[in-house]
Amino acid sequence: MKTRSNSAHETRPADRLAVIVLAAGKGTRLPGAGPKVLVECLGRPLLEHVRRAVVGLSPDETVVLTGFGREVVQPWVVAHWPGAHVVVQEPQNGTGHAVRVALAAIPRFVGDVLVVCGDVPQLEDADLRVLLAAHRRTRADATVLSGVATDPRHLGRLVRDPATGRLARIVEARDASEEVLAIREFNTGIYAFGAAALRRAVADLPRANAQGEEYLTDAIGALVLTGGRVEVERAADGSALLGVNTPTDLAAAVTALRRRIVGRHLAAGVLVVDPDTTVIEPDVEIAAGARILPFTYLGHGCRIGPECTVGPFAHLRGGTVLERGAQVGNFVEVKASTLAAGAKAKHLTYLGDASVGEKANIGCGTITANYDGKQKHRTTIGAGAQIGSGTVLVAPVTVGAGARTGANAVVTARHDVPPGVTVVGVPAWAPAKAS
């Protein structure tokens, strides 16, 4: 195994990595939201976005610190983050204390340690790779990922030595003077450390601050004072790493993620007509050439095939599949349904738990009534079927291939419409053919 010397203090493996995720906070400025790290951000919890960034690095050890709301955070981590150590910080005495508790869960680990916050959903594995590469290149004891923003708000500021330009200390916003608050370079709360240096630095942290807590930022200051090598790596887009503490922060994070995701689909050849009014959650598959019209919302788990058109003002929820050339139009909501090739639902329609056959046409105002008050049921609409305006299909029910329903028909549960038959009325019935 390759090793390298880290100043005079430490020799550590060149390729061993542990990640500590701080997820114990209460989130008092997100009222009524429960544990902050499980607050939804573009269809996924904040912590899920961070998890994706972390697992992209394939760390040897991952420790997730829980605290407030651990009765729901711990099961989430167990279910969604296999292999992670879940550790409780009790009481919650600050970020420095949290890291010391986390290190106790991996007492024999030797290598590099990344510390990340669980409330920075914009974080990507590329950000962490840049930080880790700089940390290893300079053989630092600690490397701070910084950002620059016009208004860093509640985040700590990086105070540099005016003579050398090197980092002198990090001052939390609550403890900062007006002069320090005017500094635009802020602490993202994301760090790389040598494990031995980190253990030393958090062993005895002061609490002489506005919150009476042990700050991890004081560990940085301690390393500087004792001659450790502390470097700063500036993020390419630091404003995207401001974290989430308030509803305003959450809205900004959603906007940043939305733009990033839409940009990726555009780069892949998807025709997003108006990116500023289109929302696409993570884990949506869209084929090149599909057209997404303004004011459309695509939830995670949707799959949209080539030559499809969606919108304007459409909402596709999880489990929706549009096959080649299918069309979903104005004010149509689709959930857990498949529209086969060439099928159309163009106006004011709800399709839930439905299968729509090839080239079937769903008339304006159609509803699949899929919920009976206890459980949901499926509706099957055959190929080439014509569903008249205002039809209610009460599931479970099947409308056969080539069948038709008249305007405002109500097809009741288990009263299937045979292929090629036309039904009308309430409840729907097949009028007798003239002799």
Q: What is the 3-class SS of 215-250, one letter each residue?
A: CHHHHHHHHHHCCCCEEEEECCCHHHHCCCCCHHHH
Residues 261 and 122: their CA atoms lie apart, in Å, by: 11
Q: Which of 311, 390, 295, 352 is nearest to 326 (CA)?
A: 311
Q: How would you class 43 by CB atoms within 10 Å of its CB: exposed for 0-12, middle for 13-18, buried for 19 or more?
A: buried
Other C-beta atoms closer than 10 Å to the C-beta of 235 total 18
Q: Measuring CA to CA, how many Å separate 146 from each of 187, 233, 288?
A: 5, 6, 37
Per the annotation, the verdict on 377 as an active-site residue is no
- Name the CA dihedral angle for 69, 70, 74, 80, rounded to a multiple of 10 degrees: 20
403's torsion region: left (phi>0), alpha (psi -120 to 50) or beta? beta
Q: What is the 3-class SS of 92-161, one letter each residue?
A: CCCHHHHHHHHHHCCCCCCCEEEEEECCCCCCCHHHHHHHHHHHHHHCCCEEEEEEECCCCCCCCEEEEC
Residues 391 and 96: their CA atoms lie apart, in Å, by: 61
Residue 354, helix vs strand vs coil? strand
Tokens (6 digits) for 369: 């009534």
Residues 415 and 249: their CA atoms lie apart, in Å, by: 51
Indicate which residue of 9, 85, 300, 347 is catalytic. Answer: 347
The neighbouring-strand residues paired with 88 are: 66
Tell me how far apart the terminal alpha carbons of the chain are, to the nearest angstrom.
90
Residue 48, helix vs strand vs coil? helix
Residues 232 and 187: their CA atoms lie apart, in Å, by: 10
Residues 407 and 252: their CA atoms lie apart, in Å, by: 45
DSSP assignment string, 156-180: -EEEE-TTT--EEEEE-GGG--HHH
Alpha helices in 13-57 (DSSP H): 46-55
Q: Which of 414, 346, 338, 343 is nearest to 385 (CA)?
A: 343
- Residues annotated as part of the active site: 347
